């Protein structure tokens, strides 16, 4: 069971995580990244590593 947390206070809406995730977990809503397809997450942690704001946490 994977949980993904996006800190909306930190997220600048750069969309980098949307472009990075290989299985399209993220969508933009109102200028913030929202993990909508968490069940598809591969726990590769690419999104976590690339977020320039450190806003993403992938928790197993």
- Binding of residue 16 to ligand SF4 (CB under 6 A): yes
- Binding of residue 34 to ligand SF4 (CB under 6 A): no
Compute the distance between CA of residue 30 and CA of residue 42 in angstroms, rounded to an integer. 26
Choosing from 15, 27, 29, 59, the residue that interacts with ligand SF4 (CB under 6 A) is: 15
Compute the distance between CA of residue 19 and CA of residue 26 in angstroms, rounded to an integer. 9
Distances (CA, A) of 7 to 12, 19, 31, 39: 10, 18, 13, 19
- Binding of residue 49 to ligand SF4 (CB under 6 A): no
What is the binding site for ligand SF4 (CB under 6 A)? 4, 6, 11-17, 20-23, 25, 33, 41-47, 51, 53, 55-56, 58
């Amino acid at each position: 069971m994977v949980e993904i947390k996006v800190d909306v206070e930190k997220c600048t809406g750069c969309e980098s995580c949307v472009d990075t995730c290989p299985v399209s977990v993220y969508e933009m809503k109102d200028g913030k990244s929202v993990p909508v397809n968490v069940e598809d997450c591969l726990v590769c942690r690419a999104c976590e590593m690339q977020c320039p704001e450190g806003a993403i946490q992938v928790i197993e």
